[in-house]
Every structure is written in structure tokens, then in C-alpha cells.
Structure 1
Amino acid sequence: MTIAPYGSWPSIVTTDLVTSGTVGLSAPLLDGDTLYWLESRPSEGGRVGLWRCHRDHPAELVVPAPYNVRTGVHEYGGGAYAVRDGVVVFSDLTDNRLYRLVDGRPVALTQSSDHRYADVRVHPDRHLVLAVREDHTGGGEPVNTIVALDLDGSGDGAVLCSGADFYADPELSADGELAWTEWNHPAMPWDATRIRRGRLIDRPALALTEISEVAGGDHESAVHPRWAPDGELIFISDRTGWWNLYAVRDQETTPLWPEDAEFATPQWVFGDQPYAVLDSRRLLATHVSNGVTSIQLLDRDSNTLRPILEDGLYGSVAAGGGLAAAIIEDADRPARLAVADLTTATWTDVRRASDQALPTPWVSIPRAVSWPSTLDDVPGEVHGWYYPPTNPEWRAPDGDRPPLITLSHGGPTGFSDNGFNIGLQYWTSRGFAVLDVNYRGSTGYGRSYRDALRGRWGVVDVADCADGAAALAAQGLADPQRLIVRGGSAGGYTTLQALTTTDVFTAGISFYGVADPEALARDTHKFESRYLDGLIGPYPEAIEIYRERSPILHVDRLSVPLLLLQGSEDAVVPPNQAETMAAAVRAKDLPVAMIIFEGEGHGFRRADSIKAALEAQLFFLGKVFGFTPADDLPVIEIDNL
């Protein structure tokens, strides 16, 4: 082995390896035994195409360029396509219209680009398409409804559900009952929702009657209604403090598997399928316990829950034709789309996110770590994943300790799992350690863990990240002089708060992070326009708390270098937040760099942007920590250095 300082190791994990030949896999769906899924390609600017594969036949692209199978509802999208009995309907992001495939050719079902559609369901037997519609034709906030559209594209469709601020999951039973989820400001779908049901009639016009409430309330998140073949309505609720499965028949609700585990994750996007109804007595379900996600088969007759996939699920599950399908994230290789025969639980790969798997000696395998909170008023254990520096050809001088990148995920209700992430291996193979923190507020540990962040955003999450980094440094697993905090979106806010309220970190990297929560409360999209009511407090009543927790107003407390990365078209966290923060840090004579990526939104999708962001971070850290990366990196401008 060759000796070199941490951070300067040569690596086979290049930026080309991170992006080239890599595709994003998502939204698996089984129509009988035909598998459909979405692929996003950084090499095509992040465009999303719809693919399918029928058993042993080769995969084929169903919806090619220039169509982009995405939706802008809630800005985050999801649920952009549906298939049933071979009938394919999808949303195209370029014009927001719905299309149906007719003889392999897209035919528009809707006309207005001011209407966006998501959570699409297609019912060929009724000649209907159901969807959540977001209407941007008027002033002020867009109006959300559930609509029914004709499959032949005639008319503007019928509004079936209206009046609530938000809708999701329009599920129609075989005998014509519609179930759905709805919620209102200021709640988010993981805070307080209601599931309702009503009977669909078509005379004198398409409408709902006999509407009643099934589950939910002001302090309950009831989500994902699905119909069983016998007419029973299945749903998920966190009424016990955990998102568990329930069934309702004749107004009597039965818990299906009470457990201190989650059978769902927050509905940041439409189209989540956390479980699939196999028949009247069996479900295929997502199961999250202590940050580890698996697929389980729930058999109500035998009252058993057994694993079909013990670890590594990413996203939704699908079932049909005796098969299961899922995106699987192993700890040591790129994500893969796979199908399993439900009789044998044997998985077969259909598609891989990348064929460029790392040799085993290069892969840093995460291990679960926990540490106690230092907050007396919010005590408890905090969880995360630790990735050690890993390179079979290089090692650091004896006695050296690695720089540590502490990651604060987005959401903040998201969570980090132990699935393979080539972007993290970019860092570990160069001699960095990584701590991926599931701070309080994260999903996967129950509602009380999630709710510990209510009213305390910018305090609890910051303390959890700082405590984790300090704990690893105390154990000799990180250099206390080179502790980096990094995050995107909500995680970017945690990053900026950590730099202005603690003295643990010695550098920060923010991706499209919130620098001014007060500005965000005044200027963001409908879905999150009242989100901060629960995380900080109602605005403007709690304006003093907003200002106390605003990094932009407390740059005087900042004493370390900062890198800001931002998309020019970000509608969630507008670019002026990064620009204002950069100007304030620059005026304080601290090292600061800001890069605006033209054409990118809230999250970078293009290969050139992803590569440039990685290279900028490594260059920045090399300069501020005084080591020379082995890579030939483009120079970025760092003010005050």
C-alpha cells in the first residue's frame, strides 16, 4: 500500500463513473406479468423515459424522447404514469398534458398546459382516467382536485373531489367506490390527513354520492387506501405512533399487523406504492425498522409476516401475475430493478442502474451507529450510518484521522438507508469518512421520533448532527479539525444553521439550502407554503423565532469556509437565498464560493451539473484544508482565500 494523506488518495471512482452509464430507476409497475418502470438519464439532462419488459423478452422503451414522463404537481411530482390491461397513460413534463399510447404513438388526452396531473389511475373497463389535478389557471395558489377524464380525450373531465387543499390516492373499486386521501393547510401528509370514500355514479353526470370518512383526523396520518378483491378497504395509519396496516369492512376497522415499525414513508411524491394487494388475504408490504427497509409478505390466514427481501428495498413495491417487482439497493453495488416469483421468493435482475460495479475492496460498507442527544429538553438516542475511508491501494500515515463529511438529509422527514450510493463512494475512496445522520425528524423510527422536530427545526436536527460528528471524533474515527457538514434543501438549512449555531464543524457545503426561513415562509410553492408552521411556528405570529433561527441573520456567528451550490430554476428554494447568504459571508471576509447551475431546479439532474458539483466540492475542501487532491480538477473561484 502507498501512503498519502486522507483526501488525496487516487480513486477509480471518477465523476464519469458516477454519471456515465448510470440511470435512475423508479416507479415499477406490473400489468399482469408485464413489468413497466421509469428511467432517468443524467446524460439526457435528466429526461425520464417509460420502459417495459414482458417475462423473457428484452426491455423496450415505450415512451421515447422528446417526451419526459414526469409531472410538476407539488413541484416534486410522482405518479406520472399508469397502466392497466395494456392501456398506458402518462404525463409529459414539457407541456403538463396527459397522453395515451395508441398503437405506440402518444395521443393527447388533455389540452391545457396550465393543468398538471399526478397519481394517475387508468380504468379501461370504464373508459376513465382518474388523477389528481393541479389547476394553475387562476391567481394565487393552484387548486387541487381529483378528476375523471375520458380515455378518448373528449371534454375537460369531471371534478369528483374538491374543497380540500390537497388530494392523493384516487383508488376505484371493482364495484364503483372511490377512496382517496385529503388534507388541508397547515398539515403535511405525514401530520394529519383523512381517507374518504364515495360511490361513483354517471347519471345525470359523473359524480360521487354517499361520501363518508374512513380514517384520519387532526393528529393522525391515514394514507394509501387500496381495495381488496372482496371489497375490503386497506389503508395505513400512524394512530398508534407507527404507520401500520389496517382493513375496514362495514365500518369496523381491524389492525392487520401491529408492530413498532413503519409500513410507509412520507408522501413527498405521488405514486408511492408501499404495499400491494395480492388477494383478499395477502399483502406484499414495505417494512422499515431502525432505518432498514425490507419487503414482507403478510398472510392474514396464517397471521404471519415473512421476508421476501430482507434488506435493500428502495421506493415502491409492485405485484401482478404471481410476481413481485422492486428497486433493490444493496450495500455493495448499484441499484437494480428485479422481479421475484412469489412462490419461491427468488429475485431476478431486469435492469441495473449501472453496469460499472466497484470491485469489492473499494466499497465502503456502512455500519449503523447511535449516540445520545445532548439536548436536555429533547433527550434520546440518535441514529445514523458511518462509512469508513476505503481504498485497497492507499492508506494514511500512522496517527492521522480522516476528514468527516456529516450528511443532513432533506425533508426533513426523509431518512437515509444503508443502500449503495456511488456518490458517497467517491468520497470514501479518496480518504474521507462519511456520517449519514437520521436526526430526530427522520422517518423509520416512529412518529414520536419524527415529531421531536416539531417546533424545533434548526435546533434538534443541528444538535443531532453536531453530536454525531463530535462522537465519532471522540472515538478517533474523524479528525476534529476537519469536520464538514453538508446537506441539500432542508438538509442545507441544517448545514447553515450548524455553521452559525455550533463550533463543531470547520467547513460547510450547502446544496440549494434554506438560508432565510422567513423568506421561505413568504415565497415558496403551495405544497410547502405552510410546512414551517409545524417545524418552526405559524408565520408571522412566530416571526421572532424565524429570525432567531435564520442563518442569514446570524452570519456574525459563522467562522468557517462555506460552499453554496444552487439551481437557477429552483422553485422550492429560490436562488436569492444562496445569493444573499454568499454576499453576507463574503462581506465577513470568510472563504466562500457559490456556483449557480443554469437550468437546474431543486436537485441536479444533468450529468454535467452532477460532475461539476462533485469536482467543486473536492477542490474547495482541498483548498480550505490544505491537501492536494489526486484529481485534475477545474479551478473554482473562492473569495477571501
Structure 2
Amino acid sequence: MNEQSGTGSSAHPYGAWPSPVTAEAITAGTVGLSGVTVDGQDVYWVESRPQEEGRSVPVRLLESGRTEDVTPPPFNVRTRVHEYGGRCHAVLDGTVYFSHFLDDRLYRQSPGEAPVPITPALNVRYADPEADITRSRLILVREDHRTEGQEARNELVAIAVAGGNDEGGRVLATGADFYAAPRVSPDGRQLAWTEWNHPNMPWDTTRLMLAEMDEDGGLLNARVVAGGVQESVVEPRWSPDGLLHFVSDRSGWWNLYRLNGETEAIWPMEAEFSVPQWEFGASRYAFLEGGEIVCAYDRAGKTHLAALKRGPAFWTLTPLDVPFRFVADLQPRGSEVLVIGGAPDRQLCVARVSPAGAVEVVRESGTWTLEAASVSLPEATEFPTENGQTAFAFLYRPRLADVRGPDAQLPPLLLLSHGGPTGAAQAVLHPEIQFWTTRGFAVLDVNYGGSSGFGRAFRQRLEGQWGLVDVQDCVNAARFVAARGDVDPARMVITGGSAGGYTTLCALTFHDTFAAGTSHYGVSDVEALAKDTHKFESRYLDGLIGPYPQDRAVYQARSPVHFADRLTRPVAFFQGLEDRVVPPDQARTMYEAVRARGLPTVLVEFEGEGHGFRRAENIRRALEGELMFYGHAFGFTPANVASTLDIQNSAR
């Protein structure tokens, strides 16, 4: 029920509450945070700014506590390796090296100087730079697109920081389909990295490689030291005393290990010490100068921060009492660690954390505020699903100070189906969720089978079952909260982006639980996706559905576009025209099929946007447009909305 249903509050139709959380306020006052980096005593991070057309900017924290932008406009510190990118900058003695999104070249920016390119324009991309200080170079992942009509080639290369890289770098390792996480030992004599081949994804099967480096920087005696079939090894990292550490799920859980003559499990636990490597540069543990390892791990839908310390005979793990339920991007600075953290009542922020758990916030991701009486806090929810199994979700109830819904009515439900499909719902203060709850919607953020954070077996529930297990879990989640009396079963809608968009379209096509839905750059035809997507995911569907074209009939049976005649619900579509992961034709074809059915529908396409929306005006339009679409479906007029929406087959 509505939490604000007491006396003294005024009644407003659900969906039309006078919310102060406007799309304008969200985009004007929020930045994305990533890429925390420490250079000596200096701290850097990267801000993705919707108000600057999504430009990503490294920011330096000064000793005075002020901050300054490192790169001037129009430089955009992003990479398109694997299309999802990730870490693409490094800092050495105050000089920043970075990938510029507009031309894919590497640049050097020394203090007080303009950025200077150190690689030519060659149609290659770079990611995950690691400093090889001994040889004055960077070691990176390079994705080579120079051979037209062929799949891009991924390699490890060395780039001299002084320039002169006419061929785009010296190749150090080649032959595998994918590379990640090159890491140089403290003495500069060894290089570790991970690699894997089609049809595997890095959360399925990877190899941890180790090689010596000769005086010239070439690799010798490269060998596998961990990983293999049905083992995902990620996040190799060297301790200050030269021991190689890594995270492996050989036990069924991503746990922390080290090589000390033989492989040693540091702290076996049914918990996840890493995340699926969609982007480069994940960092969930860090070495402090006192010998502790500060680590973040997921257990029961919550991220914990703890300190591991080696005693005379065994390790000890001490939880840190920090106000965060999500922690990422751990980077050491002496006896403290820098993190990105968030909580149900706190937006993401960059913060310093001491070994004792003291926290100092140095950058908030948002300037927008919401009074505590209007903040909807997540309720951890377990629900039964198919085959006697359980899945998980966070329920956010409608909440706005001094406002309630009409008497004898239940609120509508907005179910969120995350992407990936290995993503995960996180219990942090999301402005977008509060956008809905302060308007009278209940929101259910679902961790369906296949989500990360619950161990390898939970992730593998989707093997061969994509479009079935995820959909059944979302349907069962919605039915569970409706049967419990939390929401109106006649006014439940589903929304999702990318893989979540596919789950949305399957749920609307093959089930009758939801009254409407929205697909943000979602998949409607998995057969077309198998034929037309980028290298990183070009064989992903082998595991999620089956090998193609051998299992073509299964691909067709799981594609909503072929079953539009079953649709009876309104569907909205929002799509970036530069999307290389899910091409725009996926949305256009399904939109036309829905429109031909005579159902209310809309397709909004965004110039200059790829897989996900970064520009403020497009984020606003998508958020407000989705609200307006549900207003049309349920007969309410949203408050504080400036956009317009051209709904086809509108009966109103």
C-alpha cells in the first residue's frame, strides 16, 4: 500500500502525483562516476556528463579539496573496445594518457599543456592501459578494425608514452579472440593478463596467463597459471611484495586467490568478489600499505566492504562498518582506499575509506535532493519461481510526503528488467526509480535467474534458456507482489534496456501479466542479432540459446517479432541510431509489427546515441516519454512533464 496514506495527506491519482523529481532535475544535477585512479597522493575519477552531450571527463582532486577538469572540450575520454568500453586512461606523475572517443587515438596530456596524440589514426581502438614504468610505455588491449570485412583482431600491445607509435603499438600477445587486464609485476619483470576465445564470455571461461618480460619488453615463456573450461578468472593484480592475486569462480563463487608457489584460496566464501567483465577495469580489491587487502563482495543482494589480513597462520576478514550497500572501483592510496559507493538513501559517490571504516565523501554523483519523507527505500524480496526455485528483487513502494493515492485503490507496478542479462539490481538511491515512486508507482527491480551476485549456478540458469527463465522470473515476481496485495494486478507494466528490453518484449508477447511495456534498445529478433552484432557478443547466444544456425528453429521460436499477432498490449520503443550492439532495425521491425496490429505504440529514435542514452535531452525525453505512454494506457495526466509523444493508434 501507499506509505503516505495517513490523515492530513491529499489524494492524487496514481501516476499523477506532483513529484519534485523531474527529468530535468535528474539530468541537470547528476553525473556518472567511474574510473577512480590514484597517482601518488593525487586522486582522479571520470565523470560522464549528460549536460555536455554525455562527454566523459577525468577530474583531479586537489590538495585544497577543490576539483579541476583534466581534459578540455571536446575531448571525450571513452573507448569503444567491446563496444561497452570501460577504463581507458592512466595517470603517471601527473600526466594523463587517454583514449579519445571521437577518433579512437591515444593522447598524452601533461600538466598545463594541451592533449597531444601519441598514436596515429589507424581504425584501431585501445582499452585498459597499464603502466610499464621501467620501459616508459603503456601496455593495453588493442582492437584492430583495419581489415575491412573481417572480424576485428584483439591483441595486447605496447605503446611508447613519448610517441613514435606509427604502427599503433608493438604486439606482445596475439592469437586469442579476446584479451583483458594486462598487469605488470612490481619489479617490471613479469606480465599477467586474461584471455578467452569464442564462444565463451569472460564470465564463462577464461585463462590467466603469465609471462616473463625481457629487457626489451618482449614476452617469454607465456603459460596458463589458472582458469580453463568452466572457470572464469578475472581481476589479476600484483601485491606490493610481488605475489599475483586473482579472482576465480572455480568453487562456484568468484573468490580471491593468490599464487604463492601453488594456488591458495585466501577466504573461501559463498559470495562474489567480482562482477561480470562487460567493461574493462573492474577493481573489487586493493592492497594497502599496511598489508591489508580491502575487498568488496556481494552476498544476499548486498555489497559488503571488508579488510583481509594475513596472520602468522591464517587470514582474518574484518567487515568495515561503512554506510554503503554497493561498492566498486577500489583503488589504494597509502593506508586508505578510494571507492565508488552508494546506499538506499545515498546516491553514488567517490569516497575515501580508512582501514577502520571511516568515510570521507569527496564527490557526489548528483546535486539533486529529495526530502527523507519522500524517499522510497528498497525492500529485499524473495519470490518463488519455476521448478521450485527462488529469485530475488527489490520492491520500492510509492512514496511522496503529504500525498496519497485514491482510497480503495492499489498503485500500478513498474517492473524493471535489467540488461546483460548478467546485470544486477543494486539497492542504491537511483534518481530514476524515485522519479517513478514519487509519482505513485511501485517499482520492482528484479534479479532474475542469470543475474550476477548470486554465484555461478544462478548465472547459469540462463544457459540455453534466455527468453524463458528471465521472462518467467519477471512474470512470477509481478504476480507475487500482486497476490500479496502490494499493487494493482490490472495495472502492471514492464520495462528494460538491451537484454532487459528483450525480456520485456517476450513477456508482453508470450504472457498476459503486464498491461503495457517499454523496450529501450531491446532485442526483438534473436536470429537477426546472431547475424548482425559486434565481435564481443557475436557468439554469446551460443550459450544463451544454442549454436546458430543449427538451432535456428529455437531462435525463431524465441523472437517476439515473429509472434506479434499474439500481442494485445501497448508497447513503446526508444532507440539510439548509432547502436552497434542492438542495431536500430530491431526496434523498427517490432514497432511496425505492433503498429500494424492496431495497438498503441511509439518509436522514438535518437541521433548520435549508441547503446544507452548519454545526452541530457535524450535521457529526459525517454524518461518523460515512458511516463506519458503509461499515462495514456491508464488514463492519468503526468505532472511536471514537458515532452510530447506521438502515440500511434491512440484511442484518446
Root-mean-square deviation (CA, aligned residues, Å) is: 1.4
Q: Give the superposition deviation at 1:53.
A: 1.2
Matches for 1:365-404 after TM superposition, within 5 Å? 365-373=377-385, 375-376=386-387, 379-404=388-413
Find 1:238's aligned residue among 223, 232, 249.
249
Q: Secondary structure at the match of 1:452?
A: helix
Q: Which residue of 2 aligns with 1:353?
A: 365
Find 1:65's aligned residue among 73, 86, 94.
73
Q: Which residue of 2 aligns with 1:601?
A: 610
Q: Which residue of 1 aligns with 2:226?
A: 215
Q: Which residue of 2 aligns with 1:18?
A: 26
Find 2:98's aligned residue among 79, 86, 90.
90
Query: Letter of the aligned partner of 2:511 in structure 1?
Result: T
Q: Which residue of 1 aligns with 2:40?
A: 32
Q: 2:289 touches 2:334 (CA, 8 Å); kept in 1?
A: no
Q: Which residue of 1 aligns with 2:191?
A: 178
Aligned length: 634
Whole-Å separation in 1 of the counterparts to 2:121 and 2:379: 50
Matches for 1:240-389 after TM superposition, within 5 Å? 240-250=251-261, 252-278=262-288, 281-301=291-311, 303-308=315-320, 309=322, 311-342=324-355, 344-373=356-385, 375-376=386-387, 379-389=388-398
Query: Letter of the aligned partner of 1:292 in structure 2?
Result: K
Deviations 1:105-132 (A, max 9, x none): 2221111241110001123332111100
Q: Which residue of 2 aligns with 1:407?
A: 416
Find 1:6's aligned residue among 14, 18, 21.
14
Q: Which residue of 2 aligns with 1:160?
A: 172
Query: Letter of the aligned partner of 2:330 in structure 1?
Result: V
Matches for 1:349-498 after TM superposition, within 5 Å? 349-373=361-385, 375-376=386-387, 379-498=388-507
Query: Letter of the aligned partner of 2:621 in structure 1?
Result: A
Q: Secondary structure at the match of 1:241?
A: coil
Whole-Å separation in 1 of the counterparts to 2:64 and 2:300: 37
Deviations 1:611-634 (A, max 9, x none): 111111111111111122223443
Q: 2:339 touches 2:350 (CA, 8 Å); kept in 1?
A: yes
Whole-Å separation in 2 of the counterparts to 1:552 and 1:392: 43
Q: Which residue of 1 aligns with 2:3?
A: none
Q: Which residue of 2 aligns with 1:42?
A: 50
Q: Which residue of 2 aligns with 1:149?
A: 159
Q: Give the superposition deviation at 1:323.
A: 2.0
Query: Letter of the aligned partner of 2:177 in structure 1?
Result: D
Query: Letter of the aligned partner of 1:509 in structure 2?
Result: T
Q: Which residue of 1 aligns with 2:145?
A: 136
Whole-Å separation in 1 of the counterparts to 2:645 and 2:548: 38
Q: Give the superposition deviation at 1:80.
A: 1.0
Query: Cα distance 1:220–1:280, how it changes in 2: closer, same or farther (>3 A)?
Result: farther
Query: Cα distance 1:310–1:351, how it changes in 2: closer, same or farther (>3 A)?
Result: closer
Q: Give the superposition deviation at 1:42.
A: 0.3
Whole-Å separation in 1 of the counterparts to 2:639 and 2:533: 41
Query: Letter of the aligned partner of 2:186 in structure 1?
Result: A
Q: Secondary structure at the match of 2:346?
A: coil
Q: 1:89 touches 1:122 (CA, 8 Å); kept in 2?
A: no
Q: 1:146 touches 1:160 (CA, 8 Å); kept in 2?
A: yes
Q: 2:522 touches 2:587 (CA, 8 Å); kept in 1?
A: yes
1:102 paired to 2:110: yes
Query: Cα distance 1:594–1:608, how it changes in 2: closer, same or farther (>3 A)?
Result: same
Q: Give the superposition deviation at 1:353.
A: 1.2
Q: 2:94 touches 2:110 (CA, 8 Å); kept in 1?
A: no
Q: Secondary structure at the match of 2:457?
A: helix
Q: Give the superposition deviation at 1:314.
A: 4.0
Find 1:559's aligned residue among 564, 568, 575.
568
Q: 2:383 touches 2:480 (CA, 8 Å); kept in 1?
A: yes
Query: Cα distance 1:26–1:83, how it changes in 2: closer, same or farther (>3 A)?
Result: same
Structure 2 unpaired stretches of 5+: 1-8
Q: 1:333 touches 1:358 (CA, 8 Å); kept in 2?
A: no
Whole-Å separation in 2 of the counterparts to 1:124 and 1:62: 22
Q: Give the superposition deviation at 1:476.
A: 0.9
Q: Which residue of 2 aligns with 1:192?
A: 205
Query: Letter of the aligned partner of 1:163 in structure 2?
Result: G
Whole-Å separation in 2 of the counterparts to 1:422 and 1:385: 15
Whole-Å separation in 1 of the counterparts to 2:20 and 2:309: 46
- Structure 1 residues 485-494 or 220-229, which shifts more? 220-229
Q: Secondary structure at the match of 1:329?
A: strand
Find 1:517's aligned residue among 526, 533, 537.
526
Q: 2:561 touches 2:590 (CA, 8 Å); kept in 1?
A: yes
Q: Give the superposition deviation at 1:54.
A: 3.7
Deviations 1:114-153 (A, max 9, x none): 1110001123332111100001101311100001111111
The sequence identity of aligned pairs, in percent, is 48
Deviations 1:345-377 (A, max 9, x none): 21111111122221101110011001111x23x
Structure 1 unpaired stretches of 5+: none
Query: Letter of the aligned partner of 1:347 in structure 2?
Result: V
Q: 1:325 touches 1:340 (CA, 8 Å); kept in 2?
A: yes
